[in-house]
A and B are shown apart, each in its own frame.
Chain A
């Protein structure tokens, strides 16, 4: 029997809330699945949908976007922009054939180390259940074979 599938998850987080929440999980010595790679940004408002697509294209099986709770954004409104963008982006995901469950949106404050831990474990389990994300790699192969002219 082959080894169980271990997904790779890329998390785009804001530095003020979720990154600090992840740090708190660390300083509190909480334990969570090692499948997540965190990319730190100033604000969720800075997170472009292109980052998410790029991560999925480069081999991530799931993506997490997390920032400050509504009303708590360090930059006043960045997370509202992120939330609006996410609503639109969700429709685009469906259009491009990426299952919506592969991208998760959440709020984790700087005080929520425990929530961060649960979130990572939860998303790791759910992505593991979905299996590897290979559509893009397959598409890439098609493009490479066709781009001879």
Chain B
């Protein structure tokens, strides 16, 4: 027999001024199953909670309804009070007669009537509540970081330094990401390599970090605290354990004219190569598609050269399965292909390049050893035109968003050019100068005032070649007249876009993405590093265009979230999850397809001899998030959702 206690809160005057709380309490006390009904000024206060606890103990209440504010406000408060009085905390419902009644109505009679109905329907619901226990899930206290750019490296180091194991997975032969390609970084003009490479070394030498380069995540299974990840370690054809990184093989490799991706095609590499001199790990890989031996079955010069016999042409891809408790996704970005701007001549004219090309030209370790040279003839350019927003903020041709870093790196490029070519001239076509960030506006001012960067507000309509020069036609919108500039080189500040396979990868690991393919955070403001999938976190430019400081900050934030998760051996979760009735499940698998979390599997029921007698749906409590979509989908009424069962809701509706 149900014994329900109803506690009507005045909330000072907030409720009592619009709802006749006395009438509410006396009406509800006559409702079947209600053992006590009382009112008080503030039930959320200490004495208020004591009243609730005392009533539970003295009357042996089986359920509690607090008619007060929104459950979003004080559900936890009263759940705790119930638990302290020995009642299961889930035997509580809050009747929202403040936010959704007294505050929004003006007629006391009608508001009181409504409050009575709300309370009554929740009394009917709470009668059908069940004792629930928070779910305990064990946590594997090892993290995986996907992506070895600056964000991934930072997250890995932070987690590892706090004493937890990390597996850092990078698909390129070396960690470092885009930052390794940069020359100097704004707003301090630190050399990018100089600040990044020590971090790369720290990551690979850290006792708690296992770095897996030339490896890709194939499959993620499981749920928060308990992921199983399959990683494909691509064959390097070089023995990682024995190779010393002496580089003799690279020297002797006869295939020398392969355009290097790392150098954006401005430099060449060999078939056995490391992407750059400071690569970590410093172990080369053989490019199977370009290697003479793999193509013709003859050569093996590298193998003959190697004095420690580290070349292994027989090596195969290896699949490793790793158990982790949390995943940090730091897969980064790519530069948008600017070919869609045919009028800018990218791809047609060698001297129309992207910002990333310019980084390589300006880098001391780049193909020109830091000298600014035209790709077409190797001459020093006398005049460079920079075109900002080449793709960004262009709904018609490019992407709608601002890529955030281009204003800053263009100013930096103009500065670096001014420092290297003293008589050189720059012209920067821009829409706005967006320089928000610590030291950023000062930086762009410096470019203009000290390094004489020539900013022209306006767009470029056409770039074409004439007598070995590039003619840039555009408009100066401040002066309101067309301009034509003769330049030696044009640099496009291309948009940052998601990795080409970003959407496929998101589907593979089960996280959300936006219209472009940037990964979705759980809440843009309040949960910016979590994904909607518990246990998977984000950092860096895979979430949105970001500069280095933001990527690093977000990486540390993601690491903090991971460490928070790892602070306990068990994870406690709300018990609002679905469960299947084996006896009625017909095995139509409608729920399996409906579940957004892949939390429902097919399970065999066997007899004592091990023969399968029935297959039923089975909910994984670790994965289930409790949305209830499967319950509604179920044709045979075999699934129910704890806390929101069919019985509870029908009772609630019928009492209204």
Contact = CB atoms under 8 A, between A and B. Distances in A.
A78 B596 contact: yes
B432 to A, nearest CB: 28
A64 B633 CA distance: 20
Given A51-B650, A55-B656, A78-B596, A26 B98 contact: yes
B110 A34 contact: yes
Interface in B456-499: none
Given A23-B70, A34-B114, A74-B532, A41 B644 contact: yes
B633 to A, nearest CB: 7
B71 A40 contact: yes
Interface string A9-37: 01000010001101101110111101001
Interface stretch (A42-50, A96-104, A126-134, A141-149): A42-50
Contacts of B594: 45, 81
Contact of A42 (B100, B111, B641, B646): B641
Given A40-B71, A48-B631, A25 B653 contact: no
Contacts of B627: 42-43, 45-46, 74-75, 78
Interface string A96-121: 00000000000000000000010000
Q: Does more than half of chain A's interface fall in helix, strand or loop, or is it mixed?
A: mixed
Interface residues on A, range: 35 or more
Closest 5 CB pairs of A and B: A46-B628, A26-B99, A45-B629, A75-B627, A43-B627
A126 to B, nearest CB: 19
Interface residues on B, range: 35 or more
B570 interface: no
A41 B648 CA distance: 11
Contacts of B100: 22-23, 26, 38
Contact of B121 (A29, A37, A74): A37
Contacts of B110: 34
A60 B644 contact: no
B532 A22 contact: no
Contacts of A41: 628, 644, 649
B656 A26 contact: no
Interface stretch (B20-28, B45-53, B101-109, B361-369): B101-109
B81 to A, nearest CB: 21
A42 B114 contact: no
A46 B631 contact: yes
Contacts of A26: 70, 98-100, 103-104
Given A74-B627, A81-B629, 6 more contacts: A8-B656, A26-B104, A32-B104, A34-B101, A46-B629, A76-B596
B652 interface: yes
Nearest to A45: B629
13 contacts: A8-B656, A15-B72, A22-B100, A23-B70, A31-B105, A34-B104, A37-B118, A39-B656, A42-B626, A42-B643, A51-B653, A74-B532, A81-B594
